[in-house]
Copies of this chain bind each other. A is one copy, B any other.
Amino acid sequence: MADFQILFQDSGSAARRGLLTTSHGKVETPAFIPVGTVGAVKGISPQQLKETGADIVLANTYHLLLRPGVEAVEALGGLHKFMAWNEPILTDSGGYQIFSLSGLTKVDDDGVEFSSHVDGTKIYLNAETATEIQNRLGADIIMCFDECAPSGADIQQLKKTVERTVRWAERCKQAHRNSRQMLFAIVQGGINAELRTHCAGELVKLDFDGYAIGGLSVGEGHEDMIKTAAHTTQQLPKDKPRYLMGVGRPADIIAAVKAGVDMFDCVLPTRNGRNAFAFTENGPLRLRNNAHIGDSAPIEGGCDCYCCKNFSRGTLRHFFNIGEMLGPILVSLHNLRFYQRLTAKIRELIEKNEFSDWSAKQLKSIDY
């Protein structure tokens, strides 16, 4: 059922133009996946999200497990009905959130005990339960349960997380019970090339539907991130989708596509949008500025998003100034559309074999 086709291969870089077929429809790659952590992209209706051009959305197992719980999502007909999004969905396994958000109480070779950041409840998750929960939630793409190394981890710690991540991935594959879902493994190893090679190699032997690059965008900086991503994609099979998790800024996405990455998710367009920060081709725009009080221009001239077609910077500035929710909503919509236009443009350029030249120029001039 699951299928990934490479439609075009850029001749001047590792960039590829692909088509991923899931149980709920197709995803054009390179793809940007908006983040709907708790079952919604904050403030954005599924109809509005679709209008930004998104064809897949991400939800978080960790958050859904805490609230409303997997039983509630099942009772409500599964994740697609729950979110009112009858198109592709990807769920993260919860690993990253457990290591970043929760009170971690115990990690061993079997799994992880943590306390909920909501109410302190103790919860135990391991490869089998994380997979079972994702099977029950019902996303089209699910992720293996992985261990994320703490920031600043030494080589011994990194090695340990890689070993566990590989063993857990093997157990996730064994535990996986829903053939309508693709299962992706996550390559760990920090910015250590040798560990990335080893981790990727072991995971590829196990043969997954796709491979994610985890543990980046955690403070290592653009260069190390891209270097690591480029090295890692080289260890992965050409015919499987590659997903760089939690990335990133427009420049990160362009550079990572060049390095052979097919999929991205990031909270930047929505988080920044809620803070009155708009992305434009001419750089960021901060909409709280007094300069925008009487500014009748849209965020970005020529932009085809609902916000730019209808609202001036002056009205948006007013909404932020008075705390009206439409401000965050409209700028989130613009930013989501900006990201979708960026990936659409990248796809088009790859098809025309013009991506290498364009990306080289872009990466010189872009500083966001």
Contact = CB atoms under 8 A, between A and B. Distances in A.
Interface of A: 38-40, 42-48, 67-68, 71-72, 75-77, 81-84, 293-296, 306, 310-312, 314-315, 317-319, 321-322, 324-326, 328-330
How many copies the complex holds: the figure is: 2
A51 to B, nearest CB: 9
Contacts of A319: 39-40
B38 A324 contact: yes
Contacts of A48: 45
A48 to B, nearest CB: 8
Given A312-B82, A315-B82, A322 B38 contact: yes
A40 to B, nearest CB: 5
A336 to B, nearest CB: 14
Smallest CB-CB A-B distances: 7 pairs: A75-B294, A84-B310, A43-B325, A76-B314, A68-B318, A40-B326, A76-B296
Contact of A75 (B45, B47, B296, B329): B296
Given A38-B324, A76-B296, 10 more contacts: A45-B326, A46-B310, A47-B306, A67-B321, A75-B294, A81-B312, A82-B312, A84-B310, A325-B325, A325-B328
Contacts of A326: 40, 42-45
A75 B294 CA distance: 5
B40 A324 contact: yes
Given A306-B45, A329-B43, A72 B322 contact: no
A352 to B, nearest CB: 34
Contact of A318 (B43, B67, B321): B67
Contacts of A77: 296, 312
A82 B273 CA distance: 20
Contacts of A72: 293-294, 314, 318
B75 A311 contact: no
A82 B306 contact: no
Given A77-B296, A322-B38, A84 B315 contact: yes
Given A42-B325, A329-B43, A329-B45, A315 B67 contact: no
